[in-house]
Amino acid sequence: MIPATVLLGCALLAVAMLAQHSGIMQRFAVLAATGRRSAKIMRSHGASDFSKERAARILARRMLAHALAAGALLVVVALPLIAAIALDPWTGVPTRAALTNPAARLTILAIGICLVVTRSVIIPRVRSPRPSPRHSPPPLRRRLQWH
């Protein structure tokens, strides 16, 4: 059960990393914004029914395109976990059984919590912050001037 737990934990970490770096949340945010825009157009009182229908058709096509793109990206992000579960019969590692084992699930949860603590608490303290030109203090000459 230990190899299956490690394999599932690594697959879940890979899914988390892919989700973070793929921009999947932005895809779903664009989809939600398009839906809100469509609802706003339907609520407008000054437009004719023909223009509302035309705008609704255009936005429906856009929403379909955004939904397909977000769904495809979601499948790509979930591929490591799908592969770990689907390759169970060929590899001999009981990943399906590990999904229902409480000890394995708690171990995977502990791995995830350690990852979150490491990424949010420890790593920012180790890295030195780079001064960006946007947030750097103004030159001394400008700070001493009275406005």
pLDDT in tens, 70-87: 889 989 988 988 888 888
Packing angle, helices 2-22 and 24-43, rounded to 10: 50
- Distance (Å, whole) CA 132 – CA 129: 9
pLDDT value at residue 13:
83
Packing angle, helices 49-86 and 2-22, rounded to 10: 150
Nearest CA-CA partner of 8 in 120, 75, 97: 97
pLDDT value at residue 132:
59
Write the CA distances from 61 to 36, 44, 47, 58, 74, integer angstroms. 14, 20, 20, 5, 20
Q: How confident is the model at residue 126 (pLDDT cuts 50, 70, 90)?
A: low
The burial of 30, by beta-carbon neighbours within 10 Å (0-12 exposed, 13-18 middle, 19 or more buried), is given as middle
pLDDT value at residue 19:
83
Residue whose structure tokens are 């700070």:
143
Largest CA distance in the chain: 75
- Domain layout of the chain by residue ranges: 2-126
H helices of the chain, where? 2-22, 24-43, 49-86, 88-91, 95-100, 102-117, 123-126, 140-143
> pLDDT by residue (tens digit) across 18-61?
887 888 888 888 888 888 888 887 787 777 878 888 888 888 88
